[in-house]
Structure 1
């Protein structure tokens, strides 16, 4: 398997297909680069070089016990970009991956980047704080950690067949294949990485990171996102970005890159070519 080794000796699995302008994908919690199949195949066929990695502790990357925080996530992404010598790259992040992209650009600069896209992403901050009263109570994320530590397999199945793809909504038609694939990706990763990752994606404040991202950034968010409510995420992120553009989708769920791939891919392609 293709891997790179980070400065703290963690092996990170990656995919690197095709040639042309690089599009670099950062996946959500608790998944892997496989969650980008619909996007990687679409853009590969349209002449782009598509790159995606499994976050440390996730997928086929090494299951280490520490470093499950946004700074390490950003540094691992930078290690992939540098090892593959990517330039003029378009960075696309979903959910936690959107936070990873924003922290990477703020921490490592924009010299190798051309554009960015945040899809259903966690910035500016998910947890409720004095400065962010519209956030989600910390007790909710504490419970998620309990579920991960004590009944991860059952919890992941329920999450995939419920709010992640909006399959709990009246009239929804659940896809067993999509649900099973989500569960498969999650269970390949490490419980410790997933447990610590809850704090990383919920408690990290990306407000200053967003203010420092100057490249064109497209913010996409579903208006029926039950995981990262769009009013306190996508809407606020777009306002903080100096060069941000917001597009929302009525009725679309958190996992819209999969369930609504045709629409999302078309909008991404238009942004890439603009």
Structure 2
């Protein structure tokens, strides 16, 4: 079931709500530059097991509205709070992949984890995607600057290149084309705005504030968000557990989808 939720005047979020009568709720936050449809292989299976699965499209992406502004982590986490309140969610698992993981961290810090009982960070872009002074982890700043430049120069070609480094396991050409189309759904200005946020913002204090049980899932072959960042998240978050995925890149939810679904559901049920 799909519907829209207003997060601020003239800005609506698309919400995919599967199995609303489910025993436990998982709210999925997708990564850049995709949409909630990236979690197709979770939405195929987890509702069968009795879970309510809610996927939302971040502003600027998928089927949500695409305003020119509002792509900082504060605003994006406020958007999530609006959805949580509108749907009356409580005692739910918040699952964020990549940039969605960064938004989840800011939500936990800024909104004190409102309604969240458990957190799942999947290849999360936190506490800083880029290397900084006194933080020699992550990717070089030039990597992100090139994404921004190529978004403005030739966004389809940029998306093709990004897709090529997203998965570790072999994917078909048809799957690659599908992934590419998800990226094209986004607005160009939103596609560039999120990488600018990666440069401007950090999430160290947000990680320190997390106190709910947290599962950290990270592919050891991740070429987008290096595995070391998962290890650092594990150090910062008190009640956390890191599960390395030996045969996954950035798209861990697809590279090892059966194992991913099992690990996530086992964590929720504990």
* TM-score between both structures, scaled by the size of structure 1: 0.94
Structure 1: unaligned runs, 5 residues or longer: 167-171
CA distance in 1, matches of 2:181, 2:104: 24
Answer yes or no: is the 8 Å Cα contact 1:163–1:226 preserved in 2.
yes
Please give the per-residue CA displacement for 1:43-77, whole angstroms capped at 9, x wherever unaligned: 11111111011000000111110001111110111
Compute the displacement of 1:136 (Å). Answer: 2.2
Paired position in structure 1 for 2:112: 109
Q: What does 1:159-198 correspond to in 2, within 5 Å?
A: 159-160=162-163, 162-166=164-168, 173-198=170-195
Match of 1:242 among 233, 238, 245: 238
Partner-residue secondary structure (3-state), 1:122: coil
Distance 1:217 1:189 in 2: 30
Note if contact 1:21-1:89 (Cα within 8 Å) is conserved in structure 2.
yes
The offset of 1:150, in angstroms, is 1.1
Q: Which moved more, 1:96-105 or 1:135-144?
A: 135-144
1:13 aligns with 2:14: yes
Aligned-pair distance for 1:158? Answer: 2.4
Q: Does the CA contact (< 8 Å) of 2:108 and 2:114 recur in 1?
A: no
2:256 & 2:245 partners in 1: Cα distance? 10
Q: In 2, are the aligned partners of 1:102 and 1:209 still within 8 Å (CA)?
A: yes
Q: Structure 2 regions of 5+ residues with no counterpart? A: none
Cα displacement string for residues 107-140 of structure 1 (whole angstroms, at most 9, x for unaligned residues): 1123411100001111110111112122322122
Kept in 2: contact 1:127–1:203 (CA 8 A) = no
Partner secondary structure for residue 63 of structure 2: coil
Is residue 138–residue 225 contact of structure 2 (8 Å, CA) maintained in 1? Answer: no
Aligned residue for 1:216?
213
CA–CA distance in structure 1, aligned partners of residues 82 and 256 of structure 2: 31
Q: Distance in 1 between matches of 2:143 and 2:189?
A: 18
2:201 aligns to what? Answer: 204
Hey, what does 1:228 align to over in structure 2?
225
Aligned mates of 1:178, 1:81 — CA distance in 2:
32
Q: CA deviation at 1:225?
A: 0.5
Q: CA RMSD in A?
A: 1.3
Preserved contact between residue 17 and residue 50 of structure 1 (Cα < 8 Å): yes
Aligned length: 267
- Asked if structure 1 preserves the Cα contact closer than 8 Å seen for 2:144 and 2:195, the reply is yes
Q: Secondary structure at the match of 2:94?
A: strand
Question: Which runs of structure 1 show a deviation greater than 4 angstroms over 4 or more consecutive aligned residues?
Answer: none
- The whole-number CA distance in structure 1 between the counterparts of 2:120 and 2:59 is 21
1:64 has 2:67 as partner: yes
In terms of mean alpha carbon deviation, does 144-153 or 133-142 score higher?
133-142
Cα deviation 1:75-123 (Å, max 9, x = unaligned): 1111111110011110111111101111111111234111000011111
Contact conserved, 2:123 with 2:217, CA < 8 A, in 1? yes
> Residue 265 of structure 2 corresponds to which residue in structure 1?
269
* Matches of 2:204 and 2:64, distance apart in 1: 29
